[in-house]
Structure 1
Amino acid sequence: MSKLWQARFYKTVNHLRDLPKLDVPEVAFVGRSNAGKSSAINTLCNQKSLAFASKTPGRTQHINFFSIGGAHVGQHRHDPVRESEIDMFLVDLPGYGFAQVSGSAKEHWQKLLSDYLIHRQQLTGLVLVMDARHPFQPLDVQLLEWFAVTGKPVHCLLTKADKLNRSESTNALKQVDTILKSYVDEEGNPFPFTAQLFSSTKRIGIKEATDTILQLAGGNEPPDTPDLPEQ
């Protein structure tokens, strides 16, 4: 049984002061609003509606935390979570690309996201969710390049892989791997970027994604970086 099946909604955050106080690893999911991020989280956690997918892409502007550990699974999903036994958090970040919000709200949203990604010491890795048919759209590239300077690992989850045939899937993964390997630091060392194919519908890549997410629960000290790029 996957450890991620213990996932429970913990809290929604709209201000940094409201972030969880627990000193446990956090693995965050980010991606375009139509990339299948919510479906991926729900599938990995074996729950139908843990992560909420808005009917209007881009409307969700909060950071949602899901605890792993401290709860039972299956029929006991409504049991209270024992905070002292929480091992990690999965973090659902606002989708980007179709934000239908006012200027002031968007500015607050971007500041919240930027500050969390850069200054949250508990954040140990990022899962970048992209449609396997259309990887590395401009905003995906901006986010990857902006986040790369933190030195933290990024795992690219290429969703909707069931929409591709075997040859197309292989080519898509090769293309993404080639792009990721092109990112190197000043000493020529590759950044800790990985990628895989995934499908919530056909349940492709669930074990690989689960294993990687659990491996991402490490630690890193974030350096100073510029502001989040405009969307």
Structure 2
Amino acid sequence: MSQPLNLQKVEFLLSAFSSKQLPDEIYPEIAFAGRSNVGKSSLMNRVLGRSNLVKTSSKPGKTQSLNYFSVDERLYLVDLPGYGFARVSKKVRNQWQDLISSYLENRERLALVVVIVDLRHEAKELDRELINWLRYHRRPYHLVYTKADKLTRNRQNQHAAALDRGLEIQADQRLIFSAKTGQGVDGVRQLLFDYLHQG
């Protein structure tokens, strides 16, 4: 039986602004993707049991690189730049998209893409495009619906079902999550462990 991941043993590794700066592919990689300001950094911090390992910001577009974190010297977590609205130039945004596309398409040890969506809102076209792109390239993905604490349990289920339809996924392809209450944390941690041996 495989040893569980030691989430206490985590450290920031590097920020890559181009494909040439990516680290050697020595561990499986799990990437976190989502629209700007969807709660990606808060999710990663909560799952790792840290308060500010992954920098959070109220300004969309704060993450401008692929940020690598080493977990237990067995796994890389990769924080991708947020897509969608961001107060940056079109040139910078296009550079991000080229970097993200190249990474997602070519990274051999990419085991899973965690796609993060705000549970409170209906499915967005950019989210659909990413999921369809991942399907086309046969990249494993799993959805996490964040900010669940903003809704009652009944409303959570209603919104999740609507998102499932809008994104054309099944309920077993997503988790409902709240960084504030910890709802869904164990599920995301189990995902990391499940895909540790896939990359």
State TM-score, norm by structure 2. Answer: 0.89
Q: Which residue of 1 aligns with 2:178?
A: 199
Residue among 156, 159, 174 paired with 1:172:
159
Give the deviation of 1:179 after TM superposition: 4.7
* 2:5–2:71 contact (8 Å) kept in structure 1: no
Give the deviation of 1:5 after TM superposition: 3.2
Asked whether 1:217 is paired with 2:196, we answer yes
Alpha-carbon separation, structure 2, partners of 1:156 and 1:5: 25
Q: Could you tell me the percent identity over the aligned residues? A: 35
The one-letter amino acid of 1:133's match is R
Q: Which residue of 2 aligns with 1:223?
A: none
Give the number of the structure whose alpha-carbon radius of gyration is greater: 1
Give the deviation of 1:199 after TM superposition: 0.4
Alpha-carbon separation, structure 2, partners of 1:150 and 1:219: 16
Q: Structure 1: which 5+ residue stretches go unaligned?
A: 70-85, 184-189, 221-231
The one-letter amino acid of 1:137's match is K
Q: Deviations over 1:76-102 (max 9, x none)?
A: xxxxxxxxxx10101000011222222
SS, match of residue 115 in structure 2: strand
Give the deviation of 1:2 after TM superposition: 6.0
The one-letter amino acid of 1:103's match is K
* 1:65–1:91 contact (8 Å) kept in structure 2: yes
Asked whether 1:34 is paired with 2:37, we answer yes
Q: Which residue of 1 aligns with 2:146?
A: 159
Give the deviation of 1:135 after TM superposition: 4.4
Q: Structure 2: which 5+ residue stretches go unaligned?
A: none
Q: Which residue of 2 aligns with 1:79?
A: none
Alpha-carbon separation, structure 1, partners of 2:90 and 2:42: 28
Q: Which residue of 1 aligns with 2:19?
A: 16
SS, match of residue 130 in structure 1: strand
SS, match of residue 7 in structure 2: helix
Distance of aligned partners of 1:121 and 1:162 in 2 relative to their CA distance in 1, 3 Å threshold: same
* 1:30–1:93 contact (8 Å) kept in structure 2: yes
State TM-score, norm by structure 1. Answer: 0.78
The one-letter amino acid of 1:211's match is Q
